[in-house]
């Protein structure tokens, strides 16, 4: 069996495990934690993710689809972030789990502290952080706010499972703590196939 075939089988097994967890529990903190441990175990099988199978980003980052479910299902990707890539605090509007294959990415988590009543205005407070590196991962609920930064001089290669495929993402909210402001990107949910 080729590496690509073994990778696809492993991705299918991961999604089957994820559905077994969520069909029993829904998307709860403990379900997300259990899913994260499955993804960390998959990411540890580094032989399934040879660098030669995944083109490097020209700049910043790049996501390679590993298994994107039909309809409005989940999306599993191999993500690559070049050294220095960073993202300001943002909220995807959909849960996700990450696990590291190689390299290191530092994540910070934030909590929104304003009432959300003034358009374009937002304040956030840092409430936690985690280093996503081999043997480790992270899980986020639908509206968790996070910022990312690739640290060190090697690309950060990881696996990411999102509740929706990237092409069907909801609106993403970006926060600018230094200005007390926020903006949102358009939702791609209109692209979602009918159930
Ligand atoms: Fe993100």
pLDDT, tens digit, 9 for 90 and up, residues 165-188? 999 999 999 999 999 999 999 999
User: From ligand 1's centre to the CA of 40, what distance in Å?
Assistant: 18
C-alpha span between 59 and 178 (Å, rounded):
25
Q: What percent of the chain has pLDDT over 70?
A: 97
Q: Who contacts 71 (Cβ-Cβ below 8 Å, separation ≥6)?
A: 193, 195
User: From ligand 1's centre to the CA of 115, what distance in Å?
Assistant: 23
Number of domains observed in the structure of the chain: 1
Question: Is residue 142, in this structure, part of any structural domain at all?
Answer: yes
User: From ligand 1's centre to the CA of 1, what distance in Å?
Assistant: 34
- Domain with 145, as residue range(s), is 3-189
Question: Is residue 194, in this structure, part of any structural domain at all?
Answer: no
pTM: predicted TM-score of the whole model, two decimal places: 0.94
Question: Is residue 195, in this structure, part of any structural domain at all?
Answer: no
User: From ligand 1's centre to the CA of 92, what distance in Å?
Assistant: 6
C-alpha span between 33 and 30 (Å, rounded):
5
Question: Is residue 47, in this structure, part of any structural domain at all?
Answer: yes
User: From ligand 1's centre to the CA of 85, what distance in Å?
Assistant: 12
């Amino acid at each position: 069996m080729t590496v690509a075939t073994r990778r696809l089988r492993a991705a299918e097994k991961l999604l089957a495990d994820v559905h077994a967890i969520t069909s029993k529990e829904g998307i709860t903190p403990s379900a997300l934690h259990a899913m994260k441990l499955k993804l960390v175990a998959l990411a540890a099988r580094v032989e399934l993710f040879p660098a030669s199978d995944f083109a490097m980003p020209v700049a910043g980052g790049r996501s390679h689809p590993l298994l994107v479910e039909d309809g409005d299902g989940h999306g599993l990707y191999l993500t690559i972030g070049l050294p220095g890539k960073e993202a300001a605090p943002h909220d995807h509007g959909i849960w996700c789990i990450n696990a590291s294959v190689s390299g290191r990415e530092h994540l910070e988590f934030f909590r929104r502290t304003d009432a959300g009543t003034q358009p374009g205005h937002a304040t956030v407070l840092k409430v936690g952080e985690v280093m996503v590196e081999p043997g480790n991962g992270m899980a986020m609920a639908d509206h968790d706010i996070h910022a990312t930064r690739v640290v060190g001089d090697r690309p950060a290669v990881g696996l990411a499972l999102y509740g929706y495929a990237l092409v069907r993402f909801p609106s993403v909210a970006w926060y600018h703590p230094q200005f007390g402001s926020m903006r949102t990107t358009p939702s791609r949910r209109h692209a979602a196939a009918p159930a």
